[in-house]
Amino acid sequence: MEVVIAPAEELARLAADTIEERLRARPESVLGLATGSSPLKVYDELARRHAEEGLSFARARAFMLDEYVGLAADHPERYRNVIEKEIASRVDFAPDAVRGPDGLADDLVAACADYEAAIADAGGVDVQILGIGTDGHIAFNEPGSSLASRTRIKTLTAQTREDNARFFGDDLDQVPQHCLTQGLATIMSAKHLVLLATGKGKAEAVHQLVEGPISAMWPGTIMQMHPHATVLVDDAAASRLQLADYYRQTYRSKPDWQGL
Ligand code: F6R
Name the residue with the closest Cα to ligand 1, atom 1. Answer: 35
Catalytic residue numbers, as ranges: 66, 135, 137, 142
Q: Is the pLDDT of residue 9 over 90?
A: yes
Give the nearest ligand 1 atom to 66 CA: 7
For residue 64, the ligand 1 atom closest to its alpha carbon is: 7
Three-state secondary structure call for residue 54: coil
| Angle between the N-to-C axes of helices 8-25 and 40-53, in degrees from 0 to 180, rounded to the nearest 10 | 50
pLDDT tens per residue across span 168-202: 999 999 999 999 999 999 999 999 999 999 999 99
Q: For residue 147, is pLDDT > 90?
A: yes
| The pLDDT of residue 238 | 98
With H, G, I as helix, E, B as strand and everything else as coil, classify residue 112: helix
| Confidence (pTM) | 0.97
Write down the pLDDT at residue 257.
Answer: 74
